[in-house]
Amino acid sequence: MEETQFRIGDRVRVKEMYPDGHHRTTYFVKGKTGVVNRYFGKYENPENLAYGGDGLPLRELYWVEFDINDLWDHEAGKKQDKLYIEIYEHWLEPV
């Protein structure tokens, strides 16, 4: 079994970073807490690929699950409704 930084079921927070360059972490999940529910493997880092780089080192890519109502100040859905989003390891911190 591959050693990964996070495991399925881990509670994680998306780091609240605002780098100038290209990144795939959407603003509305920054600083939010969710749960890792799937691991996709290692992928080239788009923050480096976007500028002609080689995308290395590879980054672990996870699905993070959020209650959709935790993401907004308003009631965005029913209590059971969710948002799943792909987040690279370097954007996640354990809670």
Partner 1 sequence: MAHSHDHHHGGHVHHHGDHPHTYSQDPGAHNARMQSDDAYREGAVAQVEHDLDYYQVRVMALLGILREKGILTTDEMRRAVEEIYGQSPAIGSRIIARAWVDEGFKERLLADADAACGEVGVDTTGINRVVALENTDTTRYMVVCTLCSCYPRQILGQPPTWYKSFPYRSKAVTDPRGTLKDMGFDAPDDVELIVIDSNADCRYLIIPQRPAGTEDWTEAQLFQLVTRDSMIGVGDPLTPAQFEEAMQASEQVS
**CA–CA separation, 92 and 11 (whole Å):** 10
Two tokens, residue 8? 């399925």
Interface characters, 66-85, with partner 1 (x: CB under 8 A): --x--xx-x-xxx-xxxxxx
6 binds partner 1, rule: CB under 8 A = no
| Minimum CB distance to partner 1, residue 4 (Å) | 16
Interface characters, 26-65, with partner 1 (x: CB under 8 A): x-x-----------xx-x--x--------------x----
Q: Which of 62, 9, 64 is nearest to 34 (CA)?
A: 64
Q: What is the DSSP string of 23-64?
A: ----GGGTT-EEEEEEEEEEE--HHHHTTT---PSPEEEEEE
Partnered with residue 59 across adjacent β-strands are: 43
**Near partner 1 by CB under 8 A: residue from 57, 86, 94, 95:** 86
Q: Would you tell me which residues interact with partner 1 (CB under 8 A)?
A: 24-26, 28, 40-41, 43, 46, 61, 68, 71-72, 74, 76-78, 80-88
